[in-house]
Amino acid sequence: MSDLFTGLKEKLSGQNLRIVFPEGLDERVLTAAGRLAADGVLTPILVGNIEEIQSKASGLGVALDSVEIYDPNSFAMMDELVASFVERRKGKATEEQARKILLDENYFGTMLVHTNRADGLVSGAAHSTADTVRPALQIIKTKEGVRKTSGVFIMVRDDEKYVFADCAINIAPDSQDLAEIAIESAKTARMFDIDPRVAMLSFSTKGSAVSPETDKVSTAVAVAKEREPQLVLDGEFQFDAAFVPSVAEKKAPDSVIKGDANVFVFPSLEAGNIGYKIAQRLGNFDAVGPILQGLNRPVNDLSRGCSEEDVYKLAIITAAQALA
């Protein structure tokens, strides 16, 4: 396991954080939960039928001694969750509707986080991103001053660490969105001991091309600088001008970014998603995430093609977000 996760596990030691996994019957989730409990990193909470989960764990040889299991159909505190959900939805759900909605494992798990019975949630091994994110947006909601949640990947290769954003959520962010993504991504970078140097990416460097697409990025740079003047941030950059010192010297000699950026904000979801997968597949980087940022409490989304190791790592990241 990389130094990134060794350091995070050390930070989590003794903190007794609780992470809920709505997909308690998924083999990858079950195995990762058993591992997390055995390693003493955190307390996993599995959601689902208790007997079915215990039977499947037994068949897999997974010990659940330090794992908690909650079944929405028999949860002793369901009345409290229902009342809290009705209050949170502010007239958008009756008590009867709330009882039905909270039988859904993602809504149930998200309410455990909202009511402080868990510190964060990891889902998506068997659900779509929408199934994971929708309850979070309705219940946990974004932080004050944050318009939208966004999704980042921590790209890790040996001792190299970079943040790529947004690669998961916002299809066509506008200038305000991009500025917000940049600021939130810098906060995420610090959580992983990355001193953020933020590059706002485009197909142009400092006005070498002019179009609505490049104007959007240059405006985002101005907005972000106004909101966070102490943040080391600049753009618009082509990737090589943000990452290669010799190219930066030629294309943007007056920039605070000297080809040494470590947080990269892509102008659209298609660019970000393609970019991180190229780095992952051609550059042999580990792509850790997507990590959702901007929410009041940590909720993270797995890929349905995830491995048990992905579940394990994302749970550690989720707990680290809760600690931060």
317 Cβ neighbours under 8 A, 6+ residues apart: 8, 154, 288, 289, 291, 300
**Tokens 């609780």, located at residue:** 18
Task: Mark whether 187 and 136 lie in a shared domain.
Answer: no
Specify whether 158 is located in the same domain as 273: yes
Here the CATH number for the domain that contains residue 252 is 3.40.50.10750
pLDDT higher than threshold 90 for residue 198: yes
State the DSSP H helix or E strand holding residue 148, giving kind and residue range, or none if neither.
Answer: none
- What three-state secondary structure class fits 22? coil
Domain assignment of residue 268, yes or no: yes
Per-residue model confidence (pLDDT) at position 2: 65
pLDDT 10s digits, 220-230:
999 999 999 99
User: From the centroid of its chain, how far is CA 324?
Assistant: 13
Q: Are 207 and 214 in contact (CB under 8 A)?
A: yes
Residue 191 sits in the same domain as residue 268: yes
Same domain, 208 and 115: no
Residues 255, 308: one domain? Answer: no
Same domain? 232 vs 311: no
What pTM did the predictor assign?
0.87
Integer Cα distance of 233 and 236 in angstroms? 10
User: Same structural domain for residues 276 and 167?
Assistant: yes
Share of the chain above pLDDT 90, in %: 81
Instruction: For residue 1, name the pLDDT band (cuts at 50, 70, 90).
Output: low
- Same domain, yes or no: 88 and 200: no
Do 276 and 164 meet the contact criterion of CB atoms below 8 Å apart? Answer: yes
**Tokens, residue 254:** 């007056």
SS3 label, residue 157: strand
Count of domains for the chain = 2
Q: What is the domain range of residue 100? A: 3-141+295-323
In a domain, 211, yes or no: yes
Residue 113 scores a pLDDT above 60: yes
The CATH number of the domain holding residue 304 is: 3.40.50.10950
274 shares its domain with 247: yes
pLDDT of residue 195: 96
Is residue 125 domain-resident?
yes
Let me know whether 49 and 116 are in one domain.
yes
Q: How far is CA 199 from the centre of its chain?
A: 20
Instruction: With cut-offs at 50, 70 and 90, classify the pLDDT of residue 12.
Output: confident
Say yes or no: 102 and 159 in one domain: no
Same domain for 31 and 134, yes or no, is: yes
